Amino acid sequence: MKIAWAQLNFHIGNFDANANKIIEQIQLAKSSSADLIVFPELSLCGYPPLDFLESNHFIEECIKSIALIAIHCDGIAAIIGAPAINKNETGKRLYNAAYFIENKRVAKIIKKTLLPNYDVFDEYRYFEPNNIFEIIEFKGHKIALTICEDLWDEQDETFTPLNHAKMYTISPMQELMKLHPDCIINIAASPFSFIQNQTRIKVLQRNAVKYNLPLLYVNHCGAQTELVFDGGSTLINKNGKVIAAAPFFKEDFKIVDLFDNSIDAFSAPINPSKNELIYNALICGIRDYFEKQNFTKAILGLSGGIDSALTLALAADALGKDNVMAVLLPSGFSSNHSINDAIALVNNLGCKHQILPIEDNFQSVLNTLAPSFEGTNFGLAEENIQARLRGVLLMAMSNKFGYILLNTSNKSEMAVGYGTLYGDMCGGLAVIGDVYKTEVYQLCQYINKDKEIIPLNTITKAPSAELRPNQKDSDSLPEYDILDKVLFQYIENKQSVEEICALGYDQSLVKRIINLVNKNEYKRKQAAPVIRVSPKAFGMGRRMPIVANYTC
């Protein structure tokens, strides 16, 4: 049986575009003599549709699109992910479903059983879990059709809530095995993190070996605001060997045969490095954020520091150098080498740039505030005025010329609140908000692997906000190599003060860092959406109260 996978980049709610893309791939599969074509989970409406699912019109558009697509399924069958209406009198109104279409009609609707409600997932808010198990009989074969989490009833303890390897009370595949399938197809909307593909492959291989069945996995690619989908669609034989794999972050159409005994001849794909994966994920996140909203031009403040340098390099790659405006906003505290480093970078990239000094504006604001500030010393308020003046100028250019402002804060800064609301935290998209400072350095080295793009001095100099004389980040924060390790244990690994201290860290330091994280939640609630590249990003996957009094 020849099966085509269609690893595609869908657009949430864009039914015309999504349906046309699906129909084009069906026609391609027919011309390639495929028997069946498989699309990802909720491909028709895009993932995650969130509260759009509460709209009757949204669901009606899904159903209309399924009917339109079915007309083209003559001589070929298709598996398409889309919501389905729950016709029972009890339960939630929708299922997360897979439509099996052949002979121009919907032959069967398979519903998702395991509905994840952790990290970025919130499916039980919208969907009713399946409790009736069926297989699909097609071309003499029995297909166990599963939807994403349905194969994740057993998970690696590191990545599950409260370290529960057994999250669910039922195993869909164990139920389906009672019906004697001879293969597994899994359609998915599995978001990217830099460890996700390794985890995902282990889960898929475990299922293939456990049930002694070949397994075809088809995933989304592309980005939807915070979430990036890396693709990585895969065919695994019953022995757990990866025998065909789609590229990461790209659309892909491929014909495979689950029952071809010669498939052992294929070799497994090469796994990219962490830096390559994160770099490509961020490029994908920027590009789709702009393209799917019909934006074309970006602007950012370029300080001469490493964070804005990395953000500019990423934006230039994602959008094209002619579509990115770098604005230098020096104050009286800005060093000459920072200005020179910034200019060297824009010259290396070929981007447009402007220089808008803020010193006169700063002095004007200080003069206005002089009666109110009388008798006080220069401090945080005066530092933040500079950051906010920069935000005012960048947003003015955004409004005037239609630029989207890119935020340049890294994850370390966002975690401890080392940033100014309505100042350097301004922006429509936080490009590196899920990249720790130490990882920022690694990504810059990755960018420079073939030639120097980001000036060496930008990488080697001590980081500074340059908002007061001789300021360094280390005046306010622990050294980043220590800070990031503690943050990782607290945020990603969910470790307590006691558990982190047991790893050899000073208790007072750990308490200070965690207190900074907790008390700055209010800033993150007002921050730009963050492109997710880690297992635990700030945003939809981390939900913490602002008003609280708890330190773990």
Chunked mean pLDDT (size 10), the chain, 552 residues: 97 98 98 97 98 97 97 97 96 97 98 96 96 96 97 68 68 97 98 95 96 97 97 95 94 91 51 95 98 98 96 98 97 84 96 96 96 95 96 97 98 96 96 98 97 95 80 86 97 96 97 96 96 97 91 74
From the list 73, 56, 77, 60, the residue with the least C-alpha distance to 15 is 60
Question: Which token pair is 38?
Answer: 């498989």
Instruction: For CA atoms 65, 79, 234, 159, give the dihedral sign.
Output: positive
Locate 512 and state its tokens.
């200070």
Instruction: Please confirm, yes or no, whether 382 is among the known catalytic residues.
Output: no
Nearest to 528 by CA among 251, 309, 315, 226: 226
- Report strand pairing: 429-430 vs 404-407: parallel
- Cβ partners under 8 Å of residue 514, min gap 6: 486, 490, 497, 551, 552
Q: Which of 2, 21, 111, 112 is catalytic?
A: 112
The H or E element spanning position 501 is helix 497-501
Closest listed residue to residue 442, CA positions, set 405, 402, 389, 484: 484
Give the phi and the psi of residue 94 in degrees, each rounded to 5.
-130, 155
**Three-state secondary-structure class, residue 310:** helix
pLDDT of residue 264: 46
Residue 481 φ/ψ, nearest 5 degrees: -65, -25
**What is the predicted pLDDT for the residue at 496?**
95
Q: Are 275 and 446 in contact (CB under 8 A)?
A: yes
Per-residue model confidence (pLDDT) at position 466: 75
Report how far apart the first and last C-alpha atoms of the chain are (Å, whole number).
55
Label the pairing between strands 221-224 and 227-230.
Answer: antiparallel
Alpha-carbon span 129 to 113, nearest angstrom: 5
Q: Which of 148, 183, 351, 444 is catalytic?
A: 148
Of the candidates 2, 21, 41, 439, the residue annotated as catalytic is 41
Span 133-183, pLDDT tens digits: 999 999 999 999 999 999 998 765 544 554 555 688 999 999 999 999 999
Question: Is the preceding peptide bond at 529 cis, omega within 30 degrees of 0?
Answer: no
Question: Measured between alpha carbons, how far is 311 from 410 in angstroms, rounded to an integer?
Answer: 10
Residue 61 annotated as catalytic: no
Query: Per residue in 388-434, pLDDT tens?
Result: 999 999 999 999 999 999 999 999 999 999 999 999 999 999 999 99
What pLDDT is stored for residue 270 in this prediction? 64
Among the listed residues 132, 144, 235, the one whose alpha carbon sits nearest the alpha carbon of residue 181: 144
C-alpha dihedral, 153 to 155 to 157 to 162, nearest 10°: -40
**Which tokens in the block code for residue 47?**
């993932």
Which amino acid is located at 331 in the chain? S
How many angstroms separate the CA atoms of 85 and 127, rounded? 9
Q: Is 221 a catalytic residue?
A: no
Q: How far is CA 265 from CA 213, 241, 260, 311, 389, in A?
A: 18, 11, 11, 42, 62
What six digits make up the tokens of 123? 């499916």
The pTM assigned to this predicted structure is: 0.94
For 35-98, what is the HEC assignment? CEEECCCCCCCCCCCHHHHHCHHHHHHHHHHHHHHHCCCCCCEEEEEEEEECCCCCCCCEEEEE
Tokens (6 digits) for 260: 């071809």
Nearest CA to 44 among 71, 77, 83?
83
- Count of alpha carbons within 13 Å of 70, Cβ hemisphere only? 16
For residue 299, the model assigns a pLDDT of 98
Longest dimension (CA), the chain: 87
Tokens at 456, concatenated: 């060496």
Task: Locate the DSSP E strands across 465-510.
Answer: none
CA distances from 316 to 57, 94, 503 (A): 39, 42, 40
Half-sphere exposure for 330 (CA within 13 Å, toward CB) = 15
Amino acid present at 52: F
- CA 48 to chain centroid, in Å, comes to 12
CA distance 382 to 262: 70
Task: Give the domains, in start order, of the chain with CATH numbers.
Answer: 2-258 (3.60.110.10), 278-525 (3.40.50.620)
Give CA–CA dist 477/68, Å, rounded. 58
pLDDT of residue 389: 97
